[in-house]
Amino acid sequence: MTELLFPTTVEEAVALLAAHEDARPIAGGATLVAMRNAGLVESTHLVSLDRIAGLAGIVRLEDGRIRIGAMTKHAETASCEMLSGSLEVLRKAAGMIANRVVRNMGTMGGSVANADPAADYLPALACCDAVLTIAGPGGTREVSILDYVEDWYETALGEGEIITAFTLPAPYAAASSYRKIARVSGDFATASCAMALEADGQGVRVAIGACGPGPIRDPEAEAALCGHLGDPEAVATFAKALADQADPVDDVRGSAEYRLQLIPRLISGVLNDISKETV
Amino acid sequence: MKIAGEFEIDAPRAEVWEKVRDPQVMVQCIPGCEGIEQIDATTYRSQVSVKVGPIKATFNLKVEVVSEEAPHTVLSRTSGEEGTRASVVSSENVLRLAETPEGGTLVSYEADVSMTGRLGKFGLGIFRKKADQLAGVFVENFRAKLGVSA
């Protein structure tokens, strides 16, 4: 028997998670409810984050940065006009998650907390240099998305901690894109790629998803590619650098070998998207 | 699902063999192992807990040594279940110890694991990664037990 608790503040939620040994936070429930139904997870207490004021919604901060509340549903992110230009990649990724039912249910905080390597947000957030705000028994702290995933399904989130928000740098006018290869529309990615053009139009930030425990980014390789986006050889070298850091699984969606083959294809694909938008 | 790997230990094979065949050493080296009980000359019982993301599982395992050739090969069979839950795991395992030219030991292992029930639903791909990770922890623990560094 599971007890469902409804705190109304972050502090109360954190206190409830600390008070019950086997408590677990529940956001939209898109994944957690399915996992419970499959008997994969169980807990004596579920702490719902649904009634905490201020956890949902997207706002532009005074300095231009964008702040997305952890309880913001995928559907809202997918249609948010503030996520334009360099941040459009995140909007596109949100719109490719599963199907409309899930997008009206699932939240960014829930998805990122679950840290499924094949989910869409992780590479998109990595390419945007997002920063997570995490609240817990020790107070509030910020963690870069690039330091967030520590291993397969293991994250920087400690015992009793919850994600409260994502902060993105101010968007600028430049193309960005997200592509995923999936067995059918709405499936988790077999492999995915998020890319945003730098403000100077010479370089890109690229993150690969579903090819390791967390999104793969390589700032050094990005620097080497800067100014050579139109050079197929430089792009191939860049793709190889990312593929060399990949550690994909063999699973029903594809073999590890197949996933490695997808990386250069995805990179060419998103580069193509970006050059079309830039012209 | 086949899991295989190898690692080198800077210790003579006879010593490694002795430790590998000592349940009290193994219980301290196997990550998540909560106890090993010897049932008879070739059978052991053990409880091992594994955590993959949000999923925690505790298996009650029976390990049977099918054959062994001291000091280099052990063939064993593991079968077990997850308490009252429906997950059932079984595996056929081979462990080999080879002497290296430097006087150390090369430990290699292979296991053919099958898993059904609730954990089978989660996908074996991720379990293989988890197995590799746990193997790494085991090697560290084992090296520490033998007092040798990597």
| Residue A210 burial by Cβ neighbours in a 10 Å radius (0-12, 13-18, 19+) | buried
Nearest to B33 by CA among B103, B137, B119: B137
Interchain proximity A249–B130, CB inside 8 Å: no
What the block records as the tokens of B144 is 């520490």
For residue B56, give the chain A residue with the closest CA: A41
pTM (2 d.p.): 0.89
* B121 → closest Cβ in A38, A114, A251: A38
What the block records as the tokens of B131 is 């197995």
Domains of chain A: 3-47+56-168 (3.30.465.10), 189-278 (3.30.390.50)
Show me where the domains of chain B are located: 2-146
| Size of chain B in residues | 150
With bands split at pLDDT 50, 70 and 90, how would you rate the model's confidence at B74? very high
The answer to whether A55 and A70 have CB atoms below 8 angstroms apart is yes
The answer to whether A29 and A4 have CB atoms below 8 angstroms apart is no
ipTM reported for the complex, 2 dp:
0.76
Interchain proximity A250–B128, CB inside 8 Å: yes
Maximum pairwise Cα distance, chain B: 49
Report the interhelical angle of B13-20 vs B124-146 (nearest 10°). Answer: 120
DSSP string, A119-133: SSHHHHHHHTT-EEE
* Bridge partners, residue A23, by sequence: A45
Nearest to A174 by CA among A89, A95, A250, A63: A89
For residue B1, give the chain A residue with the closest CA: A250
Q: What is the pLDDT along chain A (279 residues), one digit of tens a residue?
A: 799 999 999 999 999 999 998 899 999 999 999 888 888 888 899 999 999 999 999 999 999 999 999 999 999 999 999 999 999 999 999 999 999 999 999 999 999 999 999 999 999 999 999 999 999 999 999 999 999 999 999 999 999 999 999 999 999 999 999 999 999 999 999 999 999 999 999 999 999 999 999 999 999 999 999 999 999 999 999 999 999 999 999 888 999 999 999 999 999 999 999 988 775
Fold adopted by B2-146: Alpha-D-Glucose-1,6-Bisphosphate; Chain A, domain 4 (3.30.530)
Alpha-carbon span A173 to A201, nearest angstrom = 10
